[in-house]
Amino acid sequence: MEKTYRVIHGLRKAFSRLACGILLLSAFFSQAFAQDRISLISDEETEQFLADTLRPIFKAANIPFKRNNIYIVNDDSLNAFVGDGNNMFVNTGTLIKAESQNEIAGVLAHETGHIQGGHILRQKIKLQNLQQVSLASLLAAGAAAAATGRADVAIAIALGSQSSAINSLLAYQVEEERSADESAVALLKKTEQSPQGMRNFMKKISRQNMLNGVEENPYFRTHPVTSERISFLDNAVRQSPFPPPAQEDEAFERVKAKLYAFLQPPQKTLQKYPAGDPSAAARYARAIAYFKMLKISQSLSLIDGLLREEPNNPYFHELKGQIYMETGKIKEAKSEYKRALELLPGSALFQINLAHAALEDNPTQSELRQIATILNKSLLQKPDTYGWLLLARAYGGLNDMAASNYASAEFSLRIGALDIARKQAETALRSSPLPQLRLKINDLLSRLNELDRQ
């Protein structure tokens, strides 16, 4: 797994421009709406697993499927959510703590139900209404304070109006969750899958809430009472003609092992996947743990054993390439990344891996042009922050400063350095770019202007 982290800014800005009184609301909504950024992990194997699970569900829902609209959130909690453009976000905690692909299918089916119901747009409208009500209550509170000279009257007016608006929003969210559960059961039926995994996962959430001391209050909550949802799913399981899969899904077990090994300390990995476990997933996890412990020969020995059994597994070649790359064996890394890409030629991440290794191997001008071609192909498929930085390096080596500064500006934009991005884009324009590149630069400047207006 390449630890390429990206940051999405401004996902939840519902209260950013409201006056101080509305800050009373922000604490209540801190988990649901007030996160400014999330950390994402890029991993081809995990994204491919999620794509294979989600594709038939989207098809059953008549929703266009885009492989690159799936994102892995580096968060240990049990959660998944959808965003604008049918983007699907799944927490690492959900993947690691789930016990079967059927559980993941249930989670994804529920989130697909939110897309089917148009809940994202409706939530935006509700939040806009909440902003308007909150602002109106502040104005009324200010007038009351001026007229009576009593702050307590002003506070009562403000909180009374806001409480009513909050209750309306939360009641609506309760209905949305119920609706998404119903849609999920229907979608699982269409794809001939049992809702048992979805029910089991809901029980995990219930147990976690009890362990964390969470008391579900029917008055203030963003989801229906978990017992209600479990009862609904219990009934759905009884009525379903489809039993859960009898066998463990090997691809899912490997994804879980891989994520766990990269995200947890090596000793915890070796405890969870001890030397006596001969499964491929366990050996995969131990190889990563040894790599993190800098026991490189032990790590490579495990990977070579896996490759003897599965010589055409691109993910084993990718991991071997990463180990070589991070231990300074650039030519060996390039060879492994090249093989991984040959086995999975559509992978944007593998293209970036290979380009990175090639850039570190003293490329010729001809090789730099090939690297730029690979990176442009990758970025068309899946724009990636680190890919733009590598492309800037490649064009810099070719002495194409207009293209290099443009790629640098795209990189700066994605890390939130807007002022630097603007300067780089303007420098690119002064370098006499070709007409097609000039259009891209002007588009970037337009996007920066739009961000400035927000």
* Residue owning tokens 């029917």: 218
Q: In terms of Cα–Cα distance, which of 314, 321, 322, 351 is closest to 335?
A: 321
Torsion of CA 360, 47, 94, 109, to 10 degrees: 160
Would you tell me how many other CB atoms lie within 10 Å of the CB of residue 40?
17
Q: In terms of Cα–Cα distance, which of 384, 380, 381, 382 is closest to 356?
A: 384
**How does DSSP classify residue 118?**
T
What are the structure tokens assigned to 319, written together? Answer: 């991991």
410 CB contacts (<8 Å, ≥6 apart)? 383, 388, 421, 444
Please tell me whether residue 83 adopts helix, strand or coil conformation. Answer: strand
* Residue owning tokens 């500064």: 405
- Distance CA(48)–CA(315), nearest Å, equals 11
pLDDT the model gives residue 26: 34
Percentage helix, strand, coil for the chain under 3-state DSSP, each rounded to 5: 70, 5, 25
> Which amino acid does the sequence have at 407?
A
Please tell me whether residue 89 adopts helix, strand or coil conformation. Answer: strand
Q: In terms of Cα–Cα distance, which of 411, 343, 402 is closest to 375?
A: 411
- Straight-line distance from the first to the last Cα atom of the chain, in angstroms, rounded to the nearest whole number: 35
- Distance CA(152)–CA(145), nearest Å, equals 8
437 CB contacts (<8 Å, ≥6 apart)? 402, 403, 406, 428
pLDDT the model gives residue 320: 98
245, burial (CB in 10 Å: exposed 0-12, middle 13-18, buried 19+): middle
Q: What is the mean pLDDT of each run of 10 residues along the chain (454 residues)?
A: 40 30 32 56 96 97 92 92 87 95 95 80 47 47 46 44 44 72 95 94 80 50 66 94 84 97 98 97 98 98 98 98 98 98 96 98 97 96 93 98 98 95 97 95 96 84
What are the structure tokens assigned to 245, written together? Answer: 């899969």
pLDDT the model gives residue 206: 78
pLDDT the model gives residue 33: 37
284 CB contacts (<8 Å, ≥6 apart)? 254, 257, 258, 261, 302, 306, 316, 319
Sign of the alpha-carbon dihedral angle for 81, 84, 86, 88? negative
Strand partners, 71: 89
What are the structure tokens assigned to 145, written together? Answer: 């304070």
Residue pair 2/325 in contact by the 8 Å Cβ criterion: no
pLDDT the model gives residue 172: 46
